[in-house]
Amino acid sequence: MDTKQITIISGKGGTGKTSFISSLAVIVDNKITVDCDVDAANLHLLLKPEIVHTEAFKSGKTFTINNQLCTECGKCVSVCRFNAIRPGFTIDQLSCEHCGLCERICPVGAITSTEKESGEWFISKTQYGTLIHARLKPGEENSGKLVAKIRQVARERAGKKQLKYILIDGPPGTGCPVIASITGVDMVIVVTEPSMSGLHDLSRVLNLTNHFRITPKVVINKYDINHENTKLIEAYCQENNVEVIAKIPYSREIIESIVNGTPPILNVNGEISQEIKSAWEKVKKSLMHRKGG
């Protein structure tokens, strides 16, 4: 089966991206869900997963100096541009950028490296199907690599179980983890809000999807809090041949649902629920018209 991958992203945090994908997780069948916002994951707060498998994520290296071998020649100090070699020839792990030059330059082999555990990733079961998610340790880097890892796990499981869709909750912004979340997917859904910053961030994200030649769709959340800005966003999307698949109104029901830790579609009125369901039907129709759909 040709599994379709759909990533939901936003140019900034707080637009309602996770609220939207949690609702999709409820209504979409034959799918697996992935939370790729590994720096600040929150989809699990709404889907209430039960972890069935945990695995360490190792990335990068930790460097240490063996003081019994060290001759204190000072070569490592002279080449370290981050001033990570401290008096007494120890390495300050917070200052170290893990470039490995000290290990290569040491004439007596006193500096060694070990693989570093940077986080964990999980396979969980929820009321709405399987959730693949992860947690990067505070201050750790390489979130893009962790995103790539859990996406790989999701693709493998989707292939084995012949699932039709992979729903990916991407991180906000346009940085490395976002790129890792959208690379090779079939569609990107951008959730934005009717503000000037929302429009600006939307343009940045659409430039990113255009660079990777990925079909984008747009959801305008809380569209009725500023009709003028909503019209500006719609006009911008029309100029750039991007379909707006949903306009979701501001709703106390959505806020209360998030506070209570449940996907909004379970608690909202019929109008909002229908708007979300209609958005998914448009996504399916678009995917079907594409090659292999």
**Would residue 118 count as lying in a domain?**
no
**φ/ψ (deg, to 5) at 149:** -65, -50
Q: Are residues 12 and 131 in the same domain?
A: yes
Cα–Cα distance measured from residue 10 to residue 218, given in angstroms and rounded to the nearest whole number:
10
Q: Are residues 171 and 239 in the same domain?
A: yes
Cα–Cα distance measured from residue 174 to residue 254, given in angstroms and rounded to the nearest whole number:
26
Q: Are residues 44 and 187 in the same domain?
A: yes
Q: Are 43 and 35 in contact (CB under 8 A)?
A: yes
pTM recorded for the entire structure: 0.86
Cα–Cα distance measured from residue 207 to residue 95, given in angstroms and rounded to the nearest whole number:
35
Q: 58 falls in which pLDDT band (50, 70, 90)?
A: confident
List, for residues 178-203, the tens digit of each pLDDT value.
999 999 999 999 999 999 998 999 99
Q: 292 falls in which pLDDT band (50, 70, 90)?
A: very low
Number of folded domains that form the chain: 2
Cα–Cα distance measured from residue 150 to residue 53, given in angstroms and rounded to the nearest whole number:
12
Q: Are residues 104 and 195 in the same domain?
A: no
List, for residues 237-251, the tens digit of each pLDDT value.
999 999 999 999 999
Q: Are residues 157 and 260 in the same domain?
A: yes
pLDDT of residue 290: 66
Kindly list the strands in the beta sheet with 50-65, ordered across the sheet, starting from the edge strand earlier in the chain: 50-65, 111-126, 129-136, 31-35, 165-172, 4-10, 187-192, 215-221, 243-248
**Would residue 122 count as lying in a domain?**
no
**Would residue 169 count as lying in a domain?**
yes
pLDDT of residue 13: 79
Across the chain, what does the average pLDDT equal?
Answer: 92
**Would residue 183 count as lying in a domain?**
yes
Residue 293, pLDDT > 70, answer no
pLDDT of residue 98: 87
List, for residues 223-235, the tens digit of each pLDDT value.
999 999 999 999 9
* 3-state percent helix, strand, coil for the chain, nearest multiple of 5: 40, 30, 35
Q: Are residues 203 and 101 in the same domain?
A: no
pLDDT of residue 291: 55
Domain end (from 75, 109, 143) = 109
Q: Are residues 93 and 223 in the same domain?
A: no
- Residue 89, domain extent: 67-109
List, for residues 11-54, the tens digit of each pLDDT value.
877 888 999 999 999 999 999 999 998 888 889 999 999 999 99
Mean pLDDT, residues 113-120? 88
Q: Are residues 172 and 27 in the same domain?
A: yes
And the tokens for 189?
């859904």
**Would residue 115 count as lying in a domain?**
no
Percent of the chain exceeding pLDDT 70 equals 98
CATH of the domain at 234: 3.40.50.300
Q: Are 220 and 248 in contact (CB under 8 A)?
A: yes
pLDDT of residue 142: 66
**Would residue 140 count as lying in a domain?**
yes
